[in-house]
Amino acid sequence: MTVASRPPKPPTGRAAALVLAHAHLRLGLLALAQTELETLAELGRLDTAGLVDLAEVRWRTGDMTAAGEAAVAALRANDEDPVALLIASEAATANGRPSEARRLALRAMAFATGSIDVIFAGMSRSVAWPPDADEPPPTAPTLFDRPSETIIPDAGDPTARSAAAGSGAVTTGSTVVDPTGPVELGFWDDGEAGGPVAIDLPDPAKELEAGRAALVAGSLDEAALRFGLAVRLAPALAPTVLEVTAGARVPALIIVRGDAYRSTGHEQEAREAYAIAARGGLPERRKRSRGKASKPRRTSSRKSAAAAEPSASGTPDVTEADVITPPDAPSAEPAIDRDVAEGAKATASVEAATETAVDEASVDPLLGSSGTVGADIALDGEPDVEPAPDDRLAGNPDESTT
C-alpha cells in the first residue's frame, strides 16, 4: 500500500521515530505503526505529516471517528493534503454529512497528483466518490435463474400455437418455455414448469366457529388449533379470540392468547402469556368439597344423668332443647333415643339411692322404728334443742354440754 501523492522520502529534520513509523505504515505493518504513532501523539511529538500518518493508520484499522479527528487536526496546518482530505470526507459521510463529504472529496481529487484509487488501495469508499474504474461490473446471479421464456405475441392465433407445438416448446397459457434451456433445477424449483399453484386457505370465520365448538365440547387442543389459524389468517379476529378464550389455563390456549395480544399491538401482554405457557399454564382451580353432614353431639351418660332432675312423676324432664334432630341427618335419631334411655336409667338409680338414705335416717336406734314425735321430746318433758351449726363452730361450752 503506497500513497503516490506523498514524497517517497520524508523531509529532512524529522525525528527518527516519526520516520520509522512512516516506514512501517508504508510497509503495511499497521499494528506496529499505530502503536508508534499513538505513543508519539500522547507525548505531543507529532508534526503535520505525523498527524496525517496517524489519521491514515486509524482509518485503515477501522477507527473512523478517531481518524476523522486526526485528519481535521492535520488540515488546520495544511488544508491541501489529499490523504487528510480523503479521510475527512469518509468521516463526514460516516457522520451523516453527505454535502460536506462530497465537497472534501472534490478537493482531494483536485490536489491528488495521481489517481485517487491509489490512495484508497483497496479500502471501501463511500458514495461521495466516483466508482473504481478497475472494479469489475456487477454480474447477475445464476443460482436462481429460470429457463428463458418467450411470450407469444398473439396467444389466440392457432397458427402460432401449432408452430410452438411443432417446435417442441412447452406452452403454458401465453408463455412458451424454451426446451433448450438448462435442465438443472434451481435452488427453489420444485420440478413444475407451470406458475405458482394457488393455495386454498381456510376461512377464518369458520375456523373461529370450529374453535368455539371444540371449546364447548372440551377439546382444548382442537380449539387452540382453530383459534390459532383464525388469528394468523385474520388478525382482525384477535379481540374475539381473546374474549372467547378468557380464563384459559392450558398452555396451548395461552399461546394463542399471546399471538392475539401481539396482533393487537399489546406486546407486554403477549410476553406475559408466553411466559405463563412456558411454565405449564395457570394452576387449576380447586373445587370446593361439600362438607359432610354434621353429626349431633352425643352427650355421655354421666353428663345426662347429672343434668337430668327427677320430676314428680319419677321420669326425667326432657325438653326440646335436649333433643335436636337436624333435618339432614335422620341417622342420628337412634343415638338420641339411646342417650335419653341412659339418662332415665341413671335418674331412676339416683332416686332409689335417695329413698334408701331417707329410710335409714328415719329409724332411731333408741326409740325403735316408731318414728313419732316422742322421739324428739326429752325425759324432762322439754323438747330437745339441737345446737345450731354456727354455735358448734363457735365452740359454746354451755350448749354443747346440754
Q: Note the residue count of the chain.
A: 402
217-239 as b/e, with b when 16 or more CB fall inside 10 Å? eeebebbbbbbbbbbbebbebbe
Contacts of 287 (CB under 8 A, 6+ apart): none
At residue 316 the predicted structure's pLDDT band, cuts being 50, 70 and 90, is very low
pLDDT of 88 reads 87
Strand partners, 364: 368
Name the residue with cell 388478525. 235
| Range 320-334 average pLDDT | 47
Residues 52, 84 contacting (CB under 8 angstroms): yes
Higher pLDDT pick, 63 / 131: 63
CA distance 287 to 86: 78
**Residue 271 banded pLDDT, cuts 50, 70, 90:** very high
Structure confidence at residue 275 as a pLDDT band (50, 70, 90) = very high
Asked whether residue 105 carries a pLDDT value surpassing 60, the answer given is yes
Q: What is the pLDDT of residue 338?
A: 61
Contact, 188 vs 219, CB < 8 A? no
The per-residue DSSP string of 119-150 comes to HHTT----TTSPPPTTSPPP----TTPPPPEE
C-alpha span between 334 and 10 (Å, rounded): 125
In this predicted model, which residue has the larger pLDDT, 392 or 199? 199
Query: What share of the chain has pLDDT > 90, as a percent?
Result: 10
Q: Quick one: pLDDT at residue 332?
A: 45
120-130 average pLDDT score: 75
Angle, helices 30-43/16-26, rounded to nearest 10 degrees: 150
Question: What confidence score (pLDDT) does residue 18 get?
Answer: 84
Contact 104, 85 (CB under 8 A): yes
pLDDT in tens, 40-60: 888 888 888 888 888 888 888
The distance of Cα 54 from the centroid of its chain, to the nearest Å, equals: 51
Do strands 170-172 and 175-177 pair parallel, antiparallel, or not at all (unpaired)? antiparallel
CATH 3.30.70.1400 fits 16-120, yes or no: no
**Residue 368 per-residue DSSP state:** B
44 DSSP 8-state letter: T
pLDDT in tens, 277-299: 998 887 765 555 455 444 555 55
Provide the pLDDT for residue 69: 85
Mean pLDDT of 198-212: 88
Start-to-end CA distance of the chain, whole Å, equals 151
**Residue 172 three-state SS:** strand
What pLDDT, in 10s, does the model give residues 352-369? 665 655 455 444 444 444
The cell for 152 is 407469444
Question: What phi and psi values does residue 147 have, to the nearest 5 degrees?
Answer: -60, 150
Q: What is the pTM of this model?
A: 0.33
| Fold of the 204-278 domain | 1.25.40
Contact 325, 336 (CB under 8 A): yes
Average pLDDT for 178-200: 56
For residues 82 and 27, what is the distance between their CA atoms, to the nearest angstrom?
Answer: 20
Spell out the residues 6+ positions from residue 191 whose beta carbon is closer than 8 angstroms to its own: 185
* Mean predicted confidence (pLDDT) in 380-392: 47
Residue 258 banded pLDDT, cuts 50, 70, 90: very high
How far is Cα 200 from Cα 118, in angstroms, rounded to an integer? 60
Best CA proximity match to 128, nearest among 156, 165, 169, 100: 100
What average pLDDT does the structure give for the chain? 68
- Most confident among 18-22, 75-79, 87-91, 268-272 (mean pLDDT): 268-272
pLDDT, residue 399, reads: 46
Report residue 276's pLDDT band, with 50, 70 and 90 as the boundaries: very high
